[in-house]
């Protein structure tokens, strides 16, 4: 590995292929230490209830690696490797525990209840061996389980592992909400929707991107939203970038909107400012002037 070759190993590799191989190895060696060194951070991206302009009291937690030399590394650049190396569970557990602590801090600081959606990898989903027991942790920390949503992909529901189903049911019975992430991009057998109690479908960004121009996207979103309404499931649209996308999605009846149009994922202090200003703006809009 890069470490064994000494600190100057990078200088001898010039081709892109070798460099990418080397940096991959390098990243993996560092990832484990990164958690301990506090380089793994949780960013928060607001989830906006449709038709309320700026109100916000919920967010999705998204992991970032604040690397001392490489700067901010996004999940696409280290999660796939972490998954292959069996490191993803550690990262997910870390993010989850950070989120729980943050929820408690917000309550203690008078910011109040903030709902947070946490991603959990499909990799070894139901296998609890050697990892944090999320339900036990919620209870130990005295957190209202209703403030936490678990985001999973369709693949978890499709595989029908007894372990995965059992874990999901236990979490849901305790009050944790379940969201299906990237909905519409996996193998979409819809039968799991009648077997599992799902709270949210997150419509994948790929259906939102060309929404203004593409009638097929619109038809798909309408169909998903209509079906969800009948099933008592709320729909979240991901990747909302423009005002006209927002308006179309609200007209269709999506319940929640997430995307750069409202805000990017932010470090916690910036997210707190967003919360304060969004909710102040709302109060000014709603309350009659004195």
CB 116 within 8 A of CB 99: yes
How far apart, in whole angstroms, are the C-alpha atoms of residue 170 and residue 192? 17
| Terminal CA-CA length for the chain | 68
Identify the residue among 181, 217, 234, 272 touching ligand C2E (CB under 6 A). 181
Of residues 147-176, which lie at the interface with Mg ion (CB under 5 A)?
A: 151
Show the tokens assigned to 162. Answer: 């007894």
Strands 234-237 and 200-203 come out as: parallel
Determine, following the binding rule CB under 5 A, whether residue 45 of this chain makes contact with Mg ion.
Answer: no
- Among 119, 149, 164, 225, which residue interacts with ligand C2E (rule: CB under 6 A)? 119
Q: For residues 185-214, which are near Mg ion according to CB under 5 A?
A: 202
User: What x/- string results for residues 63 through 102 when contact with ligand C2E is judged by CB under 6 A?
Assistant: x----------xxx--x--------x---x--x-------
Cα(121)–Cα(115) distance, rounded to whole angstroms? 20
Asked whether position 119 contacts Mg ion by CB under 5 A, the answer is: yes
CA atoms within 13 A on the CB side of 125: 24
Which one among 93, 154, 182, 234 touches ligand C2E, defined by CB under 6 A?
182
**Which region, judged by CB under 6 A, interacts with ligand C2E, from 25-33, 192-200, 232-240, 267-275?**
232-240
Spell out, one character per residue from 262 to 281, where the chain touches ligand C2E: x when CB under 6 A holds, - when not: ---x----------------
Q: How far is the CB of 10 from ligand C2E (least distance, A)?
A: 26
Q: Which of 151, 181, 41 is nearest to 98 (CA)?
A: 41
272 binds, among ligand C2E, Mg ion, none (CB under 5 to 8 A by kind): none
Residue from 172, 144, 151 nearest 47 by CA: 151
């Amino acid at each position: 590995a890069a470490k064994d070759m000494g600190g100057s190993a990078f200088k001898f590799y010039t081709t892109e292929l070798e460099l990418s191989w080397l940096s991959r190895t390098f990243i993996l060696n560092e990832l484990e230490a990164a958690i301990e060194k506090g380089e793994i951070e949780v960013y928060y991206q607001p989830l906006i209830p449709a038709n309320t302009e700026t109100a916000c009291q919920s967010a999705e937690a998204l992991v970032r690696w604040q690397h001392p030399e490489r700067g901010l590394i996004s999940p696409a650049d280290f999660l796939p490797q972490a998954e292959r190396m069996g490191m993803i569970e550690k990262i997910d557990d870390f993010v989850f525990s950070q989120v729980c602590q943050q929820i408690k801090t917000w309550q203690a600081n008078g910011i109040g209840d903030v709902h947070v959606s946490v991603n959990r990898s499909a990799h070894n989903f139901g296998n609890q061996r050697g990892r944090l027991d999320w339900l036990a942790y919620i209870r130990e920390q005295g957190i209202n389980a209703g403030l936490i949503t678990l985001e999973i992909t369709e693949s978890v529901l499709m595989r029908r592992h007894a372990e995965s189903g059992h874990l999901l049911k236990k979490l849901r019975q305790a009050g944790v909400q379940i969201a299906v992430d990237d909905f519409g991009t996996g193998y979409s057998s819809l039968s799991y929707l009648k077997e599992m109690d799902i709270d949210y479908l997150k419509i994948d960004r790929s259906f939102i991107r060309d929404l203004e121009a593409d009638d097929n996207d619109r038809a798909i979103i309408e169909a998903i939203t209509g079906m969800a309404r009948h099933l008592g499931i709320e729909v979240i649209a991901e990747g909302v970038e423009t005002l006209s996308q927002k308006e179309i999605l609200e007209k269709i009846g999506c319940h929640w909107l997430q995307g750069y149009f409202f805000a990017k994922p932010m470090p916690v202090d910036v997210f707190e400012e967003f919360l304060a200003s969004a909710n102040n703006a709302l109060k000014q809009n709603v309350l009659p002037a004195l």
